[in-house]
Amino acid sequence: MKYIIFNWKSYLNLKETISLSKIISNLPSSKKFKLVSSPNNFFNLAIKSRFPKNTLATQNIDFHGSGANTGSMNINHLIENKIKYSILGHSEVRSNFGDSDTIVKIKLDLCLSHNIIPIVCVGETKDVYKSKKTKIFLKSQINKIFDKSTSYNEVILAYEPLWSIGTGLTPKIDEIEEISSYLSKILKNYSFKKINILYGGSVNLTNISDILNLRNVNGVLVGSASTKSDFIKYFK
Ligand code: PGA
């Protein structure tokens, strides 16, 4: 079973979000794919009440709980609305809202204590990639986010090279496999009930089957291509 996460970012309005969610809800259930959609946070409730069987993720949460926290995305509201997943540390959240690995770690711990499955995003810049320091960079990022003495429940780790997101560029297919296998090796130093490694960054209808065929890649996190109905229908 491979995870397919649709990250709709802020691309779609409510009508478009409903239309894609309807296509998802009409797909025959599949043993091959686990589809999770991540509408703009404002639309999660509308989509959940209209399509209760669709699995949803928020695009972020914050670590302020219930109470006097204006503007907060309270994790308790995810539970209340039966949303099981949250993306954490996406590169756009890191650059737009300043989330650091330390903040991602706090959010990760919060997800675990609230039984929300986190989709933790990591990835290197173009400079790091070019200077062949991707593995060192990812190892240090993982070290900052995960704790060796914690027993984690299910966690999804999305490897998303920053230079690949929204650019049409991707690492070579064997590089994706090499990095995923490296990640799977270093994650053995931590304790997880379940860990899945996904690739994200310019996934589309042309490259998806090669990526999904990789042994160490347990799925994909897809942005702009996932806003097209043809892409969603691929998973029938
Ligand atoms: P992209 O985005 O598929 O548009 O490159 C991926 C992501 O941001 O998760």
Residue whose CA is at the smallest distance from ligand 1 atom 1: 223
Catalytic site includes residue 160: yes
Compute, in angstroms, the gap from residue 68 CA to the centroid of ligand 1: 34
Q: What is the pLDDT of residue 232?
A: 97
Q: Answer yes or no: is the C-beta of 219 below 6 A from any ligand 1 atom.
A: no
- In Å, what is the CA distance from 51 to each residue of 2, 20, 33, 45, 103? 22, 11, 18, 10, 32
User: What are 150's two structure tokens?
Assistant: 């914690």
Residue 224 CA: nearest ligand 1 atom is 4
Compute, in angstroms, the gap from residue 40 CA to the centroid of ligand 1: 14
Listed in sequence order, the residues at least 6 apart from 156 whose beta carbon sits closer than 8 Å to its beta carbon are 3, 5, 85, 117, 118, 119, 120, 195, 196, 197, 198, 218, 219
Identity of the residue numbered 27: L
User: What are 156's two structure tokens?
Assistant: 């999804």
Closest CA to 207 of 162, 157, 172: 172
Q: What is the pLDDT of residue 128?
A: 98
Compute, in angstroms, the gap from residue 150 CA to the centroid of ligand 1: 30
Q: Answer yes or no: is the C-beta of 166 below 6 A from any ligand 1 atom.
A: yes
| pLDDT tens readout for residues 128-162 | 999 999 999 999 999 999 999 999 999 999 999 99
Residue 92 CA: nearest ligand 1 atom is 8
Sequential pLDDT tens for the chain (236 residues): 999 999 999 999 999 999 999 999 999 988 999 999 999 989 999 999 999 999 999 999 988 888 888 888 889 889 888 899 999 999 999 999 999 999 999 999 999 999 999 999 999 999 999 999 999 999 999 999 999 999 999 999 999 999 999 999 999 999 999 999 999 999 999 999 999 999 999 999 999 999 999 999 999 999 999 999 999 999 98
Catalytic site includes residue 114: no
Residue whose CA is at the smallest distance from ligand 1 atom 2: 223
Q: Any bridge partners for residue 36, and if so which?
A: 5
